[in-house]
Chain A
């Protein structure tokens, strides 16, 4: 439950602000000049805030759409991401957001139309390139959909631009934005997955793997394209067995024809980010794994990364074409 909502004065009368506020009738409203007054200040305690996060409604001034990091993509020549929100209602122990901000409060930007304009400009600038836009980089793209309505807003935009792809990456089982419209060829709903046993330990506050698979199955049956994101790959005792069972379960639940792409990503943290996250959760089993430091990055060894990627890729290739399988190295 949200107890406090900070509202930038500039957007206090914005229709989207009013709509969001109406969903939290008991919350206390506090007006602010800019979201930086309460978000990511020094000496904020992410771990304590995570137990009682506030919502911040803000106006985004710039940086609506950014180039995706190198190695992040599903086949297009140019990749971009956009984030209508900072932070996530889930609490996954491997997530970089824990080390990204000192604040766990959720920032929602209400000026969605500025995202549309920026995406449009990029499309016009690159008429010859294949483009993919990713939603859900600094947040989960659908987890707070009932509150923000961002997907409902942006989907019609991409209906008008069938030549570019958009991916909604999520762990949410929120399927409403897709259930009332016709499936789109240029829209992928991509689910982050890992073996249930590992997910139970690391994916805090998220829908279970089984529920995610059920949501995928419903969307697939309606004709939507599904992305499978085994990212990050998590090592541990019997990992081969755990990943085999999960991959078989996924492919038994969803028709192969519905699968747009599969990607695998290694577990990697920049050194400072790892230190920050480790300080927050020093007793987490995730950090026990055989992690090494190499060129400022904390990760499993190359051998482990390669073995895990190769194994899962081989397994997946039994079901789908290799051209649909990607390695995410971002």
Chain B
């Protein structure tokens, strides 16, 4: 049985966040609930299953493992947008400023990545250094965190790079000692930025929805696949011809046309015939 996971029209967002205090307001905002007490990493999701969030803990290895775990556990579809949000140190900017990251340097091996950032963003964009140990030398003027490069490396393996976002809130710097940070301050830093975070999420929800619409197979695809046996290669051909028929002005009932078919080959023959002599009417295109 081939299942139509695209049936409900919805976007898909996955959050990877290091600390519970960073995640709390987001869990509340998107009405997420803890999935299971027994999970390797705590995972939260909302009832529509459009938002999933994982608490990764601190550090690159945790971020990488948690991202992959969430990907598997939530069966993240191809149109999923991935967001990493958290606090970061910085030699410039102000305490509490929200920034988008468009360049990441892995401090341990010097590897550089270039995430794309949201279009027409009102937020500043900055470079970020991911380190394995906390750094209090802010002279590089870059953002400093402990997870982002691992998150980006993991997500870019299974998601479009344009659907990955790294968001940081400045928490420490030359005039804000990292030692002064506590759970309450961390929580407040994210909470005071929640309206900004919502703006970013709206952008990625919209991108994700557009991708969903592009990737969604026609409903009839599943009906046909469950009635006749199609090889993987035939499924691709079937999908293409059904999409073309769906875009055309052909109004025939497709299942009716196929009712006497004995196998996938005869299904394809009938469907291909529909499009063989189709003339586009550019007046209505």
Seen from chain A, the residues whose Cβ lies within 8 Å of a Cβ on chain B are: 3-4, 6, 28, 30, 32-33, 37-38, 41, 43-45, 47-49, 51-52, 54, 195, 197-198, 201, 235-237, 242, 275, 278-280, 282-290
Contact = CB atoms under 8 A, between A and B. Distances in A.
B192 to A, nearest CB: 25
A41 B161 contact: yes
B112 to A, nearest CB: 7
B162 interface: yes
A43 B156 contact: yes
21 contacts: A3-B120, A4-B117, A30-B114, A32-B112, A33-B112, A38-B114, A41-B161, A43-B160, A48-B162, A49-B116, A195-B282, A275-B236, A278-B240, A279-B214, A285-B247, A287-B244, A288-B244, A288-B247, A288-B275, A288-B278, A289-B278
B280 interface: yes
A290 B279 CA distance: 7
A288 B280 contact: yes
B103 A286 contact: no
Given A287-B244, A289-B279, 7 more contacts: A28-B125, A43-B159, A45-B211, A279-B214, A280-B214, A282-B247, A289-B278
Contacts of B175: none
Given A32-B114, A201-B282, A285-B247, A4 B102 contact: yes
B276 interface: yes
Interface-centre pick from B156, B243, B248 (highest chain A CB count, 10 A) = B243
A191 B161 CA distance: 35
Contact of A285 (B114, B120, B285): B285
Given A52-B119, A283-B243, A45 B161 contact: yes
Contacts of B157: 43
B277 interface: yes
Nearest to B243: A282
A33 B120 CA distance: 26
Nearest to A45: B160
Contacts of A284: 247
Given A37-B114, A45-B163, A282-B214, A237 B102 contact: no
A49 B282 contact: no
B179 interface: no
B200 interface: no
Contact of B102 (A28, A43, A290): A28
Contacts of A48: 160, 162-163, 207, 210-211
Interface of B: 102-103, 112, 114, 116-117, 119-120, 125, 127, 156-163, 207, 210-211, 214, 236, 240, 243-244, 246-248, 275-283, 285
B162 A45 contact: yes
Given A48-B160, A282-B214, A290 B276 contact: yes
Nearest to B239: A282
A28 B114 CA distance: 13
Contacts of B158: 43
B64 to A, nearest CB: 17
B247 A242 contact: no
Nearest to B103: A30
Contacts of A6: 114
Contacts of A4: 102, 117
Nearest to B218: A282
Contacts of B211: 45, 48
Contacts of B210: 48
B21 to A, nearest CB: 31
